[in-house]
Structure 1
């Protein structure tokens, strides 16, 4: 009787645990169904917009802003709301290749199939890199996203709350019939002043091409039709049935007279202003400091360079003192990594400590000053011979997605993973390496943006 009751109790507990698991999974799967916040709904009503009206997204790297524009009752787009980008990695300029941790620039389209409700980074959508323009230059990369979790390794990262709202706006636009929405990713606001500040940048010609598309949107407040030919963007072009090919010469095409006239007038005005600024010796912008090494403590504050006092302290107070040893060779100083100010979990804190090994985190790196070595006449025998260094096995193997993960065994720490690829399989250690330990499988992540 006791045994039968115990069995019955076990079944009840098992059923309860199973039900709890379903609830957890259900909770995890409803992020993408969160409603648009009431304040944003009120703002839409005030601006003559409905939640199912089409949207358009504009991104500005230098200003760290993401804008959501929405089509109003007059049929033209108006800005609904802007959001501070939590982080983006790299510097100003287009993404060139997989693994460069550079956020893309250009004109992209996001369809419903590019929305990811099960992202490991809360919610996300793939912006569609590489597009036809990128491919014409042989550029590579995949899984370039706008996502939550406030971490970036080649993407535009938002807070989870922001991402939930942007995701909901896109979801409702799709439900209203929009087939795709345009993402305009710019290095900065395309003004004559900003172009003059960056006039000596190697990407200037590319940015002039992006400005053309930005001007088309500015004067019409309509989503510009985007094509690529002769390895450049063309906007609102009608080739009369001829095909645009990214790598081939542009066919004869025309732009609607009203649009061409308005865009031409704006460009002439900007060109006159540009010439005035350059002729007056307008100050050139300094080299842009990549956001690797920048932190945003709060979205109420701008992104700023990490102050020296906030960096990790040197490992030795005597590191900068002269070392008077004949024949001594300076040893590279250790490179401790400052813990991210917004680290929210043990796992994140742990990964921050060794971010420089993986190259996949935007944390500030602190470097202790290297010792100053002064050569003297004293005999080198006074220095004890260094202990032999045991080679550390290292294996590199490309994954199916081409993401090249690596695994490195650090004494006392075990294996540290390389590229945080979503699909990369762990590299296998050759049995020829005596005593090698196989690398553990990385935690699977869904559609990670980080190359």
Structure 2
């Protein structure tokens, strides 16, 4: 029975382990990245925050600087993510998660088959309450995904080292914000007819808080959705699916102004009759830099560049075809 469970986990997720452990998980932060931190008034022990954007195939590392706010440290191109735009709902759907997650030291995996990885913690409290299923959804190396976010081994090695040092410095967990796209007025207008639009509008509240304040939003849940920066009346945790209770704090006026401004811009684009076409996906995406490498040099060259273990690229034909017109 245990063997069957282990095999099922291996086949349904983006993580497995190896017996031989080398020093990759203890490698120091590269000197060039340390130099970037110093120039930006950051230290290795200061807290971090991660943002992921599917449509752009990019992962950002933010770090708290001397001002006490988060500033962008580095943006990494993602080699592969799978599924379509939208949240993960069930095991085996190949969807990479969208939402807000918190990663602690115990969720770092030094023995990943995909070089190094960290677990996003899917399903989070909201997703579990909604009945969503799946496990071991990761950010890892290589260029293969069945519900994970895959970077190069070099990229995930840097991210792992930065995360490790921040957690050692006293950060209990770091927040990961995973979005379908950069939540600009244009992208919101493009996707206005998507079934996930209400969910994405909720995510945008957290996105706007961080964009305006450069601080980590406080994440809560009620009525089966995300709620940000709210202090609920009464003691004890709230039922994720219960009605939202009265709140003690009002919305930040600067954040509210940003949200309203973006909404008006999106409405203006639509009323002006602008040609806006949402992206569609057969199975995920790949950053343009890797698409170009694949076009020029073929699969073997890309595999050598992105994976020390030569993990095959997942569904390369779909990666090259996506994104495509929803009418195709």
Query: How far apart are 1:364 and its partner, in Å?
Result: 1.9
Find the aligned partners of 2:58 and 2:303 in 1 and give their Cα distance: 22
Structure-1 separation of matches of 2:67 and 2:28 = 25
Return the match for 2:120 from 115, 124, 127: 127
**CA distance in 2 between partners of 1:173 and 1:339 (Å):** 35
What secondary structure sits across from 1:134 in the alignment?
helix
Q: Distance in 1 between matches of 2:61 and 2:83?
A: 23
Contact persistence 1:230–1:248 (CA under 8 A): yes
Q: 2:54 aligns with which of 49, 61, 77?
A: 61
Paired with 2:33 and 2:239, the residues of 1 have a C-alpha distance of: 41
Q: Confirm or deny that 1:92 pairs with 2:85.
A: yes
Partner of residue 160 from structure 2, selected from 153, 164, 167 = 167
From 271, 292, 315, the counterpart of 1:362? 315
* 1:87-116, Cα deviation, whole Å (9 max, x unpaired): 111111101100011100000000111011
Q: Is the Cα contact below 8 Å between 1:89 and 1:362 reproduced in 2?
A: no
Task: Name whichever structure is richer in helix by fraction.
Answer: 2
1:7-40 per-residue CA deviation (whole Å, 9 max, x = no partner) reads: xxxxxxxxxxxxxxxxxx88x3311111111111
Asked if 1:194 corresponds to 2:187, the answer is yes
Distance 1:73 1:101, change over 3 A: same
> Could you list the runs of 5+ residues in structure 1 that have no partner in the other structure?
1-24, 311-337, 353-360, 366-451
Matched, 1:342 2:302: yes
Question: 1:260 aligned to 2:252?
Answer: yes
CA separation in 2, counterparts of 1:158 and 1:295?
10
SS in 1 for 2:231: coil
Q: Which residue of 2 aligns with 1:154?
A: 147
- Asked if the contact 2:233/2:245 (under 8 Å) is kept, the reply is no
Tell me the distance in 1 between the aligned counterparts of 2:300 and 2:218: 41
With over 3 angstroms needed to count, the CA separation of the structure-2 counterparts of 1:343 and 1:78, relative to structure 1, is closer
Output aligned runs, 1:324-403, within 5 Å: 342-344=302-304, 361-364=314-317
Q: Residues 284, 302 of structure 1: CA spacing in aligned structure 2 closer, same or farther, 3 A cutoff?
A: farther
In structure 2, stretches of 5+ residues that fail to align are 1-18, 319-328
Deviations 1:210-232 (A, max 9, x none): 00110111111111110111001
Question: What is the aligned length?
Answer: 296
CA distance in 1, matches of 2:77, 2:282: 17
- Are the counterparts in 1 of residues 222 and 242 from structure 2 also a CA contact under 8 Å? yes
Matches within 5 A, 1:45-444: 45-242=38-235, 243-255=237-249, 257=250, 260-291=252-283, 301=289, 303=291, 342-344=302-304, 361-364=314-317
> Runs ≥4 in structure 1, deviation > 3 angstroms?
338-341
CA contact (8 A) 2:79 2:290 kept: no
The change in CA–CA distance for 1:40 and 1:287 in structure 2 (over 3 A counts) is closer
- Cα 1:83–1:154 change in 2 (3 A) is same
Contact preservation (8 Å) 1:147, 1:157: yes
**TM-score relative to the length of structure 2:** 0.83
Could you report, residue by residue, the CA deviation over 1:142-191 in whole angstroms, capped at 9, with x for unpaired residues? 00000012211110001111111000000000111000000000000111
* Secondary structure of 2:194 counterpart: coil
C-alpha contact 1:108 1:128 (8 A) present in aligned 2: yes
Change (3 A) 1:84 1:112: same
Whether the aligned pair in 2 keeps the contact of 1:295 and 1:363 (CA below 8 Å) is: no
RMSD (Å), alpha carbons = 2.6
TM-score (norm 1): 0.61
Q: How far did residue 260 of structure 1 move?
A: 2.1
CA distance in 2, matches of 1:237, 1:246: 14
- Structure-1 separation of matches of 2:301 and 2:93: 24
Residues 334-376 of structure 1 deviation map (CA, whole Å, 9 limit, x = unaligned): xxxx96663459x968x77xxxxxxxx32327xxxxxxxxxxx
Q: Which structure is higher in RCO with an 8 Å CA cutoff and minimum separation 6?
A: 2
Task: Report the CA distance between 1:284 and its aligned residue.
Answer: 2.8
- Structure ID, larger Rg: 1
Using the alignment, how far apart are the partners of 1:113 and 1:236 within structure 2?
Answer: 26
